[in-house]
Amino acid sequence: MSPEWWGDADGVVRTPDDPRWGGMLDSFAGMGAQSMSAGYAVVLDRRANELAVMLRTRAEDDADTSDFVYFGIAGNTGGAPTPRAVRILLVTPSASDDPRPLTELVAYEYASNAWSSAPSRPTWVEHPVAWVSGAEPGWAVALRVDLTAAGVDSAAPFRLALGLHAGNDRGELDWTTPGGLSLADASAVDPRRWPLLDVSAIACVARIDLP
């Protein structure tokens, strides 16, 4: 089984420490000033044809809507596959229980060598949530990515990009994969430089290593 944090079914784990994420998080290729304070995990669920994605920082940061995560995926089906990306804004800690649903999403699509804002919430992003009120420093975000809705055939290679932005008393901190990914200017992102993944050999559920 892949990580599940929503609903009431057996196997739901409502913490960011679900062992199904596969242990220690991977390091971003481009790391902020606090280089060991953030990481990510990407898990392929072959049966659901989805990715489970976790992005987490342990930097000293009280989450608010100036913090966000970035996820990009380049489709590989159809005559003109469409790279897509989303920026998901955090929420301010409150009396509500974690994980908190995240509703502020800004979606982008790439065509004719340029990015434009998508007109509505992306259908390929599911169950985006955040853990913002724990005793440990930092925060975490999880989401599911519907590969079919994103225009991805997981039997063929496809590209991904991830980023995390946090602001604290040390300044504005960005962690990204690939290393040159611009979180400040979405229009400057080149999806052709995103890491290329081949997950065709995964038969069930497995953690994905990004090159």
Structure tokens at 37: 């304070």
Residue 35 within a domain: yes
Q: What are phi and psi of 32, to 5 degrees?
A: -70, -175
Residue 3 within a domain: no
Q: Which residues of the chain have pLDDT under 50?
A: none
Which of 162, 209, 192, 181 lies closest to 38 in space, CA to CA?
Answer: 162
Length of the chain: 211
CA distance 204 to 72: 23
Order of strands across the sheet with 205-208?
100-101, 125-131, 139-146, 50-57, 38-45, 205-208
| Residue 13, number of CB atoms within 10 A of its CB | 14
CA distance 16 to 25: 11
Residue at 187: amino acid letter: S
Residue 156 within a domain: yes
Q: Is 32 exposed, middle or buried (0-12, 13-18, 19+ CB in 10 A)?
A: buried
pLDDT by residue (tens digit) across 89-98? 999 887 678 9
CB environment 150-186: b (16+ within 10 A), e (fewer): bbbbbeeebbbbbbbbbebeeeebbbbbbeebebeeb
> What CATH number does residue 122 fall under?
2.60.40
Residue 109 within a domain: yes
At residue 136, the pLDDT reads: 80
Residue 183 within a domain: yes
Structure tokens at 189: 């992102």
pLDDT by residue (tens digit) across 100-141? 999 999 999 999 899 999 888 899 999 999 999 876 888 999
Residue 111: domain span: 19-208
Residue 50 within a domain: yes
Residue 8 within a domain: no
Domain count, the chain: 1
At residue 50, the pLDDT reads: 98
Mean pLDDT of the chain: 91
Which of 9, 17, 133, 153 lies closest to 73 in space, CA to CA?
Answer: 153
Residue at 82: amino acid letter: T
Residue 5 within a domain: no
